[in-house]
Structure 1
Amino acid sequence: MKSSWSRILLAVLSTSVGTGAIAQETIKLGVNQPLTGVVAASGNFVTNGAKIAAEEINAKGGLLGKKLQLIIEDNKSNPTEAANVAEKLITRDKVPAMMGAWSSTYTLAVMPKLMEYKVPMLVETSSADKITTMGNPYVFRISPTNSMEAKSFTRFVEPLKIKKVDFLVVNNDWGLGAAAEFGKMLKEKGITVNRTLHMDAAAQDMSSQLSTIKSTDSDTLF
């Protein structure tokens, strides 16, 4: 754990112009996560994982001989807040790098701040392909993209005898991107893509969408 995380963090930090920050007694790493709001559970999982990794790294000598200090901020499951958090971490807390921002939509909202201040970010879960195809040199992704996930699913299409599919996806950059990439893959395999229905990330009642799906003749729901 320590070795792999240390290599990743060193690679990210090497792009930062904030060499003064690295010269301090501790190395700060901003953590931009949804700790409250509709996806708070997932954001807290990621944050707790970062805490465990930081503890392990520090217990074994730290990074470049310095302690790693996490500066954790809540983006409240909101893209505007995610951008505000990024600016706060950079301008007030002086972090030389950060990780975030869980959702593809939140990450895309943060990316202009990375360009503006020339601060790198490790993208830990966001899967929208455009995050790493937009030419932003301050983005480092360790999570698979939607297209990678779709490609990995290809081998299951024939064994599952999929012929016609519907999609029910979250109406955001992740959900729409996943539907597009999986739909493209399925069409290339000769599968009919029928209905694509959307839902809000905070939705608890999807009876309308499920009723529509029930009325189709598709054999598989993504």
Structure 2
Amino acid sequence: MLLVGLIVGALTAPGLAQAPIKIGVIEPLSGPVAASGNYIRMGAEIARDWINARGGVGGRKVELVIEDNKSDPKEAASAAEKLIVRDKVPAIMGAWGSSMTLAAMPKLEEYGVPMVVETSSAASITKRGNPWIFRISPPSEMEALGLEQYVDKLGVKQADFLAVNTDWGRGSVTAFGDMLKKKGAAVGAAEFMEQAATDMNAQITKIKSTNGDTLFLTTAVEQITLVLKQGQEQRLTRKVITTGGSSSPSQLIKQAGAAAEGTYHIVFFMPWFPEAMPDAKLARAFVDEWAKRGHPFEGLTEGFRGHDGIATIAEAIKVAGKDEPKAIQSALWKVSLTGVNGPIKFEKDGPAGKESGQSKPSIFIVQIKDGKVALPDFMAKK
């Protein structure tokens, strides 16, 4: 009887009762888009620390279990399985690129673990019928609709496209092309580049030969920098609009210099103007905390995604009252919170009976003018 009592006492000891809540994170921490992945990791760590400083979730601390998908879809699938099988995480945030997220999705369905998608924009992510997916980033179609109201003011008459050859890039070309046709604009050339490519001169030469006035550019900031510089060398003269929210305008100013002047960028967080965000107080606090930690300012347009993803999962665990995958999945449908981007609340998207969750994030457009990030003239307050 004494032995049984000791065992029961050990199982209910405070140390065991307060075991941390594990949340899995899958991001590209190495490879061609490592900068973006690491910025998201930094944002996730801020969310974790803020949650823990407030007492955690149900009195339990949050612990992030982070896996590097190495900017590779196969690695993303492997990382998802490791987190679920080895680390026993009840929920995951990931996996930046659409191809990486799509590769991880079958593992979520196989094991029954929910994932909050913080960045990926391919429409197929929420259309495939995976009920374990909850996306807080806009699909390309939603992003294109957000830009639609500004097409006339931007003066887009004929657009060409240059995009990374992934599900994200291809989906963006389709979504923005469809929107522009609907607006009566002509759609010209569509060129693609591999994710690790560094020489885009051939694609730029083809685009230069068209009669387009606008170039829609979809890739991460590293390739955007190269395209802008190579375009300048070839004297490519047209408006440039980057899509996907991963352009990091402040980083472009540093890396591309004069080649970035005049370019437009779709973003989902405006750290230059936190007072213009849906929750100005939260936006300012996030910018200040980021600076306090010594993180580069240019990473904020990616870093906020990590914060909002972890905050969403933590809120779902709070609503569920336990850190079990099925309970968290059910609770995600009830979540309603405000992140750095704005309100987060999921609506059903996809085949009936197997719907994924899709939030409707805030979408903004900024311009690089005189070496600084500014609101375009048609958006600036008079």
TM-score by length of 1: 0.88
Name the structure 1 match of 2:44.
50
Aligned to 1:219, which of 194, 213, 224?
A: 213
Using the alignment, how far apart are the partners of 2:153 and 2:180 within structure 1? 14
Name the structure 2 match of 1:115.
109
Name the structure 2 match of 1:192.
186
Name the structure 1 match of 2:99.
105
- Partner SS, residue 187 of structure 2: strand
Pair 1:28 & 2:13 matched: no
Aligned to 1:89, which of 64, 83, 89?
A: 83
Using the alignment, how far apart are the partners of 2:39 and 2:154 within structure 1? 32
Deviation at 1:24, TM superposition (A): 6.2
Q: Which has the larger radius of gyration?
A: 2
Count, aligned residues:
200
The two structures, once aligned, show a CA RMSD in angstroms of 0.9
Deviations 1:55-90 (A, max 9, x none): 000010101221100001111110000000000000
- Partner SS, residue 107 of structure 1: helix
Pair 1:179 & 2:173 matched: yes
| % identity of equivalent residues | 59
Using the alignment, how far apart are the partners of 1:183 and 1:25 within structure 2? 50
Using the alignment, how far apart are the partners of 2:199 and 2:191 within structure 1? 14
Deviation at 1:204, TM superposition (A): 1.0
Deviation at 1:96, TM superposition (A): 0.5
Name the structure 2 match of 1:73.
67
Using the alignment, how far apart are the partners of 2:99 and 2:211 within structure 1? 32
Aligned to 1:64, which of 58, 69, 78?
A: 58
Contact in 1 for aligned 2:97/2:119 (Cα 8 Å): yes
Deviations 1:197-219 (A, max 9, x none): 00111111100011111111111
- Partner SS, residue 158 of structure 1: helix
User: Structure 2: where are the runs of 5+ without partners?
Assistant: 1-16, 217-382
Contact in 1 for aligned 2:118/2:135 (Cα 8 Å): yes
- Partner SS, residue 23 of structure 2: strand
Deviation at 1:26, TM superposition (A): 1.0
Using the alignment, how far apart are the partners of 2:189 and 2:207 within structure 1? 8
- Partner SS, residue 63 of structure 2: strand
Name the structure 2 match of 1:208.
202
- Partner SS, residue 50 of structure 2: helix
More divergent stretch after superposition (183-192 vs 23-32): 23-32
TM-score by length of 2: 0.52
Using the alignment, how far apart are the partners of 1:110 and 1:209 within structure 2? 31
Residue identity matched to 2:61: K
Name the structure 2 match of 1:19.
none
